[in-house]
């Protein structure tokens, strides 16, 4: 199978900055390689507006802006697992397009939908199942609002939006049968919140999957990309929030660590102490940037029996456009001078908002500035942290059987899944999900059921008897 590794270029600083200003919004948010995006307030496209061979042909184009479209597709695709309702999402899409697509209209529309579902319905008193279903969908819609809030007219509401989504998630969990075990697992900076889902309370020893999120996903995404599928197959599933994610980022203000084994090892310790976990059948998955985090952990945690990278990612830094990467020099002061004097003043609002969102999991000062509507001034420090997440030189240490997923039209890490596969020395498999079945784009947003089928069929094969 052929692939194209990420291309490197060497433009002058002037052309670099011109490229950043001209296309950074689309590039940063959706990983696209084309320059320039359609106006954010463009009307909703029709089926003929997107070429049949494009990444999101026909009805898959909800918004012309690729970043908004990708997130809308994630919401819509979750309907198969109950994390959204098709009619609710498409009604929200129409509302947003009619008002004029922007971070403000997107955030306000999905927040209002979450609020509506968390309030009692007008037509009667909901039972336990109805309340649970509404809470799960509300968690999705709050997550949609959260993703774009820094570009809205109320960026300071970010923490409150996270808490609203977390509250909806916890409401859902409390009504699930059986409810997951909630705990706080010890971690050096602050405890890791975990939710341990079981098919039943029999205490039977079962295979268990640890589900690792990426740089901007929420717990509800783990329901779509693992929990529901695991439970249906008789597996336990562990959901957690680590540094740079969820509570640890938005409330406790702890950013990502490049040593993800220090996060996963305490989780494995907690699991193997449980009588309902088979210690020889603990799998680890990583979604989105978790495709970098989970392999890093598996390289140093030998109790992981199987690993899935979704997709494989060797370097999150390469997911940022070269226009940004090229301004980083070995000198902090020189880099930040370029950033503050040349880059920031030229950034259009949409690109500025996207950069704030992409950088906040790596810098508390950047997050706090963004919440005040300001651009952070220290670009060098988070950039160096992102650079340090590179796992190119450690994947050879992985011993567990590994599945590397890739996707047609992968936006963020094109070429990296195959490069990871080539560097692995453990038993390995490579699977590419394709546009032929609507499973294209990063993490197959329109085909999470196909996605889970591939992952759990592979896990059953590698962990016999599971």
Tell me the H-state helices in 152-288. 158-175, 219-222, 228-232, 246-250, 261-272
What CA–CA distance (Å, rounded) separates 124 from 129? 14
Higher pLDDT, 397 or 6: 397
Hunting for tokens 């039977």 — which residue is that?
A: 204
Does residue 46 carry a pLDDT above 90?
no
Does residue 131 carry a pLDDT above 50?
yes
Q: What is the DSSP string of 290-305?
A: HHHHHHHHHHH-TT--
Does residue 4 carry a pLDDT above 60?
no
Does residue 3 carry a pLDDT above 50?
no
For residue 20, name the pLDDT band (cuts at 50, 70, 90): low
Q: Secondary structure of 343-378 in the HEC alphabet? A: HHHHCCHHHHHHHHHHHHHHCHHHHHHHHCCCCCCC
Comparing CA positions, the residue from 448, 437, 435 lying closest to residue 407 is: 435
**HSE (side-chain half, CA atoms, 13 Å) at 412:** 27
> pLDDT exceeding 70 applies to what percent of the chain?
88
Comparing CA positions, the residue from 118, 105, 36 lying closest to residue 72 is: 105
Residues 6 or more apart in contact with residue 35 via CB below 8 angstroms = 19, 22, 23, 26, 27
> pLDDT exceeding 90 applies to what percent of the chain?
84
What mean pLDDT is predicted for residues 17-32?
43
**What is the side-by-side strand order in the sheet with 277-287?**
181-185, 192-197, 236-240, 206-212, 277-287, 306-310, 402-407, 428-433
As given in the structure block, the two tokens for residue 297 are 């952990």
Comparing CA positions, the residue from 322, 336, 308, 333 lying closest to residue 417 is: 308
Does residue 118 carry a pLDDT above 90?
yes
Radius of gyration over every alpha carbon of the chain, rounded to an integer in angstroms: 21
Q: Tell me: the pLDDT tens digits for 136-185?
A: 999 999 999 999 999 999 999 999 999 999 999 999 999 999 999 999 99
Q: Tell me: the pLDDT tens digits for 377-432?
A: 999 999 999 999 999 999 999 999 999 999 999 999 999 999 999 999 999 999 99
How far CA 15 is from CA of 9, 23, 96, 365, in Å, comes to 11, 12, 35, 29
> How many other C-beta atoms can be found within 10 angstroms of the C-beta atom of residue 343?
23
Quote the pLDDT of residue 465: 75
What CA–CA distance (Å, rounded) separates 335 from 329? 6
Quote the pLDDT of residue 48: 33
What CA–CA distance (Å, rounded) separates 246 from 226? 18
Comparing CA positions, the residue from 173, 238, 177, 163 lying closest to residue 207 is: 238
**Is the N-terminal amide bond of 178 cis, ω within 30° of 0?**
yes
Question: 243 near 257, Cβ under 8 Å?
Answer: yes
What mean pLDDT is predicted for residues 245-266?
98
The 8-class DSSP code of residue 316 comes to G
């Amino acid at each position: 199978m052929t692939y194209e590794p990420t291309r490197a270029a060497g433009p002058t600083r002037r052309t670099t900055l011109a490229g950043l200003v001209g296309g950074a919004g689309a590039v940063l948010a959706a990983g696209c390689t084309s320059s320039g995006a359609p106006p954010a307030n463009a009307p909703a496209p029709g089926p003929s507006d997107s070429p049949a061979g494009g990444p999101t042909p026909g009805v898959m184009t909800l918004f012309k802006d690729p970043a908004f479209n990708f997130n809308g597709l994630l919401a819509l695709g979750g309907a198969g697992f109950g994390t959204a309702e098709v009619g609710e999402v498409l009604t929200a899409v129409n509302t947003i397009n009619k008002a004029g697509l922007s971070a403000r209209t997107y955030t306000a529309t999905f927040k209002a939908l979450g609020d509506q579902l968390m309030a009692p319905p007008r037509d009667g008193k909901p039972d336990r199942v109805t309340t649970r279903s509404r809470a799960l969908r509300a968690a999705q819609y709050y997550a949609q609002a959260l993703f774009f809030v820094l570009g809205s007219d109320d960026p300071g509401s970010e923490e409150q939006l996270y808490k609203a989504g977390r509250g909806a998630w916890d409401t859902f969990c409390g009504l699930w049968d059986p409810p997951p075990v909630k705990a706080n697992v010890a971690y050096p900076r602050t405890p890791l919140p975990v939710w341990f889902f079981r098919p039943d309370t029999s205490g039977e020893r079962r295979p268990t999957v640890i589900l690792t999120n990426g740089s901007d996903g929420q717990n509800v995404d783990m329901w779509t990309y693992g929990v529901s599928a695991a439970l249906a197959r008789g597996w336990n599933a562990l959901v957690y929030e680590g540094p740079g994610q969820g509570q640890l980022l938005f409330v406790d203000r702890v950013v990502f660590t490049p040593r993800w084994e220090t996060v996963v090892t305490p989780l494995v310790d907690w699991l193997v102490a449980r009588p309902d976990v088979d210690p020889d059948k603990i799998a680890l998955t990583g979604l989105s940037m978790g495709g970098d985090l989970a392999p890093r952990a598996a390289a140093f945690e030998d109790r992981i029996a199987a690993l899935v990278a979704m997709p494989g990612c060797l370097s999150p830094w390469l997911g940022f456009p070269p226009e940004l990467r090229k301004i980083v020099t070995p000198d902090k002061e020189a880099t930040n001078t370029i950033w503050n004097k040349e880059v920031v003043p030229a950034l259009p609002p949409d690109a500025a908002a996207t950069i704030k969102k992409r950088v906040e999991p790596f810098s508390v000062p950047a997050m706090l500035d963004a919440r005040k509507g300001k651009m952070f001034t220290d670009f060098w420090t988070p950039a160096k942290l992102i650079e340090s997440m590179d796992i190119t030189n450690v994947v050879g240490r992985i011993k567990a059987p590994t599945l590397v997923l890739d996707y047609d039209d992968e936006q963020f890490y094109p070429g990296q899944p195959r490069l990871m596969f080539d560097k692995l020395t453990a038993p390995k498999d490579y699977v590419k999900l394709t546009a032929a079945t609507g499973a294209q784009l990063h993490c197959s947003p329109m085909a999470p059921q196909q996605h889970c089928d591939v992952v759990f069929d592979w896990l059953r094969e590698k962990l016999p008897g599971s």
